[in-house]
Amino acid sequence: MEIAIQLTRAPISEPLPPPSGGGAGAWVEFRGIVRGEEDGQAISALEYEAYSPMAEAEMRRILEMLAVDRPCLAARVIHRVGVVPVGEAAIYVGIAGRHRSEAFALLGEFVTRLKQDVPIWKRRAIVVADLVENPTPSPPSDPGKGFPRPKTAHSAAEVLSLLASLCAPLPAERAPLADAAGRVLRETVCAPDDQPPFDRSAVDGFAVRLDDPSTRFRIVDDIRAGDWKPRVLQPGEAARIATGGALPGQNLQVLMRENARVEGAFLTALCRDGERNVRFRGEDARAGQKVVEAGSPLQPGALGLLASIGCVRPLVARLPRALHLATGNEIVSPERSPERGQIRDSNSTLTRAFLSPWGIVPEQRRVAEDAAWVKSALEPLEPALDKVDLLLISGGASVGEHDFTGRLLEELGFTIHVRRTTARPGKPLIVAQRGGALAFGLPGNPLAHFVCLNLYVRAALEAWAGQGAPSMFHTGVTAADLVTGGHAEETFWPAHWRLVNGAVALTPLRWSSSGDQTPLATANALIRVNAGFQRLARGSRVEFVSTERPS
């Protein structure tokens, strides 16, 4: 399907012609017009914001996914951002299909998914009073009337979009290979010379001339790996050679040891096939050839490759410096036996292990939470905070009497962008920023903590690292029925994914609350379940996030 997507600040012009050719039998269109009312009050405009690369990628991904079951020929999407006055179109979608019914089906489903999933942030309604009657609005006596209500909860897609715009790639630095595991390469590395750099034997055996038809040879040399013994072999001569040994000359073949009978200084070839058994100079990579692309996370194999070509201080993204505070009067070190009413702190271990594949080792502290905590936590934190890129605070992100994270962050001078999400588990989530430092208030409940790390903190790490990940959402098929109970919120359902016959099969895991720990034993995926779904039958195509770091 041909897809064209555009985000624009200009009014959406019309009419838009359908794409030409291609056997399209139908062209269906949708225009989303801004209406004069929002939440029961008169408005004059809506303001939309979007992080274009992400919004466009999301729209494309959804169209491609939907088109698997509803094949169409072309799709055009134009979304307007900025202030869109009442009566004008905020969105235009046109679908070309062979049949009208197919085009309609795709259009309808896409418009539904667009509202749910695409991170275009309707920031505020511009009320009539703001523009006409009251150009410089003063606070109203009843804050519930006449002014737009502040947005209290954000969808997961909105939070992800926000994070992508808050986290610019961190500067690059050179790091020794031993410290580069999991970090993202910021330069494309080329082989400085041919790999392998000389012709080497692929087997243990005997080097003989290719043009020598003999079956009986005199052994004239012994070449071990590491030796450098060039010589011209004569017909009837053979050089014993070990795997990895440098061939003594050109146009040779290595007879495998298994196919030779050795008697003293002579050997008889039991069979001579055409196999050269040589790893030729430059067959793996030519001098100057790209071997690792910028934007790749350095996995063990890539690190070994860099070592093989002598790239011992690759240019990588600077690691974010992370501080993690686990809060709560009830939590004790996992080494201790909890008193009654206490529980072991599991989120500190989870957080450390989550950050480890990125090469990040956080500084960690366990702090009690009480009214004095806010004050006492401030002083020791201040000096450390100036050097911190990522502040993670587990627990206390909710709205209880003893939930202090939001207050603490405000007192530390952070601007709070998100106080709550609409996705579960993980609704109590704070995202705040102070200069280049980003803070997350994470829910203490372990399953919710796991989900928030794997969705939101991961998004920040990917953006900081400059990793060329197109989208954290993948597509797979459920291996069992998933009965959700029809929650009103979008759900990230813990699951285990594995490959079955080359396809991703996702087994949903049983969980009853965000406080559960046992699903975490095997969870390596989060299935994205749209709000309101009652049941997804086995074999359903779903989107999921892998909690294993993609490469």
Contact positions vs ligand AMP (CB under 6 A): 326, 328, 330-331, 343, 345-348, 394-398, 403, 443-446, 515
For residue 156, the minimal CB distance to Mg ion (Å) is: 23
Distances (CA, A) of 107 to 47, 48, 66: 24, 21, 10
- C-alpha to C-alpha distance for 226 and 271, rounded to whole angstroms: 28
155 binds, among ligand AMP, Mg ion, none (CB under 5 to 8 A by kind): none
Q: Between residues 314 and 396, which has the closer beta carbon with respect to Mg ion?
A: 396
- C-alpha to C-alpha distance for 241 and 225, rounded to whole angstroms: 8
For residue 204, the minimal CB distance to ligand AMP (Å) is: 56
Site for Mg ion in 407-446 (CB under 5 A): 444
Which value, to the nearest 10 degrees, does the dihedral of the CA atoms of residues 513, 517, 518, 521 take?
130
Two tokens, residue 254 = 């290595």
346 binds, among ligand AMP, Mg ion, none (CB under 5 to 8 A by kind): ligand AMP
One-letter identity of residue 12: I
405 binds, among ligand AMP, Mg ion, none (CB under 5 to 8 A by kind): none
For residue 400, the minimal CB distance to ligand AMP (Å) is: 6
Specify burial of residue 67 (Cβ count, 10 A radius: 0-12, 13-18, 19+).
buried
445 binds, among ligand AMP, Mg ion, none (CB under 5 to 8 A by kind): ligand AMP
Residue 420 CA to chain centroid, in angstroms? Answer: 22
303 φ, ψ (degrees, to nearest 5): -65, -40
Please state whether the peptide bond connecting residue 508 to the residue before it is cis, i.e. omega within 30 degrees of 0: no
Determine which residue in the list 18, 395, 425, 476 makes contact with Mg ion, applying CB under 5 A.
395
Q: Between residues 96 and 325, which has the closer beta carbon with respect to ligand AMP?
A: 325
Q: Between residues 398 and 454, which has the closer beta carbon with respect to ligand AMP?
A: 398
Two tokens, residue 326 = 């686990």
331 binds, among ligand AMP, Mg ion, none (CB under 5 to 8 A by kind): ligand AMP
205 binds, among Mg ion, ligand AMP, none (CB under 5 to 8 A by kind): none
Q: Between residues 268 and 517, which has the closer beta carbon with respect to Mg ion?
A: 517
397 binds, among ligand AMP, Mg ion, none (CB under 5 to 8 A by kind): ligand AMP
The 8-class DSSP code of residue 330 comes to T
309 binds, among Mg ion, ligand AMP, none (CB under 5 to 8 A by kind): none
For residue 492, the minimal CB distance to ligand AMP (Å) is: 17
For residue 191, the minimal CB distance to Mg ion (Å) is: 53
515 binds, among Mg ion, ligand AMP, none (CB under 5 to 8 A by kind): ligand AMP
For residue 509, the minimal CB distance to ligand AMP (Å) is: 19
For residue 402, the minimal CB distance to ligand AMP (Å) is: 8
182 binds, among ligand AMP, Mg ion, none (CB under 5 to 8 A by kind): none
For residue 490, the minimal CB distance to ligand AMP (Å) is: 20
Q: Between residues 44 and 348, which has the closer beta carbon with respect to ligand AMP?
A: 348
519 binds, among Mg ion, ligand AMP, none (CB under 5 to 8 A by kind): none
The 8-class DSSP code of residue 111 comes to H
CA proximity to 473, closest of 455, 491, 497, 447: 455
Q: Between residues 446 and 466, which has the closer beta carbon with respect to ligand AMP?
A: 446
Q: Between residues 362 and 395, which has the closer beta carbon with respect to Mg ion?
A: 395
Q: Between residues 328 and 426, which has the closer beta carbon with respect to Mg ion?
A: 328
For residue 281, the minimal CB distance to ligand AMP (Å) is: 56
Cβ contacts of residue 115 below 8 Å, gap of 6+? none
For residue 342, the minimal CB distance to Mg ion (Å) is: 12
Distances (CA, A) of 86 to 32, 36, 83, 135, 551: 11, 6, 10, 18, 45
Q: Between residues 328 and 466, which has the closer beta carbon with respect to Mg ion?
A: 328
Instruction: Spell out the long-range contacts of 502-507 with Cβ–Cβ below 8 A and sequence spacing 24 or more.
Output: 503/476, 503/477, 504/474, 504/475, 504/476, 504/477, 504/544, 505/476, 505/477, 505/478, 505/479, 506/476, 506/477, 506/478, 506/479, 506/542, 506/544, 507/478, 507/479, 507/480
Q: How many residues bind Mg ion (CB under 5 A)?
A: 4
- C-alpha to C-alpha distance for 521 and 543, rounded to whole angstroms: 21
Orientation angle between helical segments 156-166 and 52-69, nearest 10 degrees: 140
Instruction: Return the residue nearest ligand AMP (CB atom).
Output: 444
Distances (CA, A) of 432 to 159, 162, 396, 412, 472: 11, 11, 14, 11, 22
Q: Between residues 12 and 457, which has the closer beta carbon with respect to ligand AMP?
A: 457
When asked if residue 328 is in the footprint of Mg ion (CB under 5 A), the reply is yes
For residue 347, the minimal CB distance to Mg ion (Å) is: 11
Q: Between residues 270 and 368, which has the closer beta carbon with respect to Mg ion?
A: 368
The 8-class DSSP code of residue 488 comes to S
The C-alpha angle with vertex 496 and arms to 395 and 509, in degrees rounded to 5, equals 65
- C-alpha to C-alpha distance for 1 and 541, rounded to whole angstroms: 19
498 φ, ψ (degrees, to nearest 5): -155, 165
Q: For binding to Mg ion (CB under 5 A), which residues are involved?
A: 328, 395-396, 444
